[in-house]
Chain A
Amino acid sequence: MGLSIRVRKNTYYDSVTLMLISKEVKKLEGVNEVLVGMGTDLNKELAQNLGLANDEINQLGPNDFFISVLSDTDDIINEIAIRVDELLNQKKDADGDEYIPPTFDSAVKFAPDSNFVIISLPGQYAYAEVKKALNNNMHVLLFSDNVKIEEEKELKELAREKGLLMMGPDCGTAIINNVPLAFANVVKKGNIGVVGASGTGTQEVTVLIDKLGAGVSQVIGTGGRDLSKDIGGIMMIEGIKALAKDPNTEVIVLISKPPAAEIAERVLSEAKQAGKPFVVNFIGGNPEVIKQYGGIPGVSLEDTARKAVALSRKETAVETEEYGEDEASLKEIAAREVKKLKKGQKYLRGIYTGGTLCDEAMKLLAGEIGGIYSNIPLEPQYKLENVFVSQQHTCVDLGDDEFTVGRAHPMIDPTMRQERLVKEADDDEVAVVLMDFVLGYGANSDPAGEMLPYILKAKEKMEAKGKAIIFVGYVCGTDKDPQGLKQQEDKLREAGVILMPSNAQAVKLTKALLKAASE
């Protein structure tokens, strides 16, 4: 098998574009392994691991483009290079004759009235560009990760001093003036303002607000580290202050993984001062502290959305989790479904693309089905030894770093989940597969369609052994999202996936199924 390489010096393309092109050309006949990328340290390491590196590759810089392929076919590199160019040009054609400035400074000169900058550059370059944006009095959404915490602190302090938004780093979701930014859904306009430190958590709450007939005023992302001791909740506090003064916001929702205790109190005290009713979901955090400050704790993401919607209609936020299908009808569905299973089929495999949805599933199931193995386990003893292999009850967040080396996030590129799903069907003890499908801007244009052939493959594999799998799914999206909620749900239903209207309810059904399966 031979290695062929094509290099173009000083030709730059963004990482997601190239990762999707890599995925596309891998399908060409005769290709054993291929990598299309920039000569970054990360890509060079990846090339090494895939057996795609040589001296030429190792000497490239981050501004150099390369194609490296392993194949038995001679001259395949020419065919690949042509296909790569076609794919790159497809992208280019869409631009037409528009001016594309080469630097931030030239962009500002061309459009001096710009007021917002989205930055998704490799982390090590982000700081300098964010600083320029803030110094030009522009608000920032910083999608990049791998930004140093000292840099985050400095940038957020600068933003606070200037009264600007600095959402991120690692901020995946925001909706400003009803415009979805990065990974966000198309949600109705309304009177609920959200500040979220968790991307998918924020997507789930805003989608459910929309499904319940209400809407959002502003959705501010902070990035996952904002409520750490080091950062001190700077952007969440600034966000709350802005929503307090915003006449279109009547209810405030705060979403974060459990923050450091002193930071939680600082944030809650700010929320209290805002003088508007507020609901807080500190995903699994202590509800008592929230109550002390006059806030209403949300038990699940759905519960958070329901309480916020009730408050936005001047109704009382009911202290109950009893919504959706009642226990009796869940039991009925479960009894019907588990009949298809064979003795010994008892385990759950949650294969998630949304980290917070995966985390929520494990928290809602904890104590009900015993320990759940994961790459992001609730307790360290349940850390998967090999994250690529499930055992007993397992829930994985496929968007976690361990899975995304050299590939786009599974919400964009479903390959990792497709492979994982088929692999789960090798295990005779699996009973239920639980999956999320996240819609909206930023995400894959057909997440349900991408999984369908693999759902069928997994089914066939099990059927060949005289067994079955129960598929439970949840589509996190609205009817206004570009993918269309109904179209996506119809596809999954046709394939036999049981869909529930929220992640929490999908988990509730899963619980009933696993219980019935073990009886």
Chain B
Amino acid sequence: MSNINQLFNKELKVINMGLKSFAEDLKSQEVKVLHVDWRPPAGGNKRMAALLAKLKK
């Protein structure tokens, strides 16, 4: 069975990144959701972010 078809038989367990209201909507429907307190990597400094990404590889 493909992963997509497997998902159709499973409970959704969601990670939400970005608009918090999407997580709140899911919570109100009793769907498991974890909201990430995301912020731009390296304080939004593009050069620094690129360096960081390289380091992580």
Contact = CB atoms under 8 A, between A and B. Distances in A.
Residue from B10, B16, B25, B53 having most chain A Cβ neighbours under 10 A: B25
Contacts of B7: 115-116, 139, 165, 176-177
Residue from B1, B28, B36, B39 having most chain A Cβ neighbours under 10 A: B36
The binding surface of chain B is classed by DSSP as: mixed
Interface in A450-503: 482
B55 interface: no
A216 to B, nearest CB: 12
Contacts of B19: 14-17, 120, 143
A262 B10 CA distance: 35
A107 B15 contact: yes
Nearest to B46: A124
Contacts of A99: 34
Given A110-B34, A116-B13, A245 B18 contact: no
Interface residues of A, number: 67
Nearest to A441: B25
Interface string B16-56: 11111111111011011011111111011100000001000
Contact of A16 (B3, B4, B14, B21): B21
Contact of B38 (A12, A39, A218, A241): A12
Interface residues of B, number: 40
Given A111-B34, A118-B18, A120-B22, A164 B43 contact: no
Nearest to B4: A242
A157 B48 CA distance: 28
Given A61-B44, A100-B37, A164-B4, A116 B22 contact: no
B18 A242 contact: no
A138 B3 CA distance: 9
Given A64-B44, A165-B4, A179-B31, 16 more contacts: A12-B38, A95-B35, A100-B37, A101-B34, A103-B38, A113-B13, A114-B34, A119-B17, A120-B17, A121-B38, A125-B41, A162-B3, A163-B2, A177-B8, A179-B12, A217-B8
8 contacts: A12-B37, A117-B17, A118-B18, A120-B18, A163-B4, A177-B7, A179-B12, A241-B4
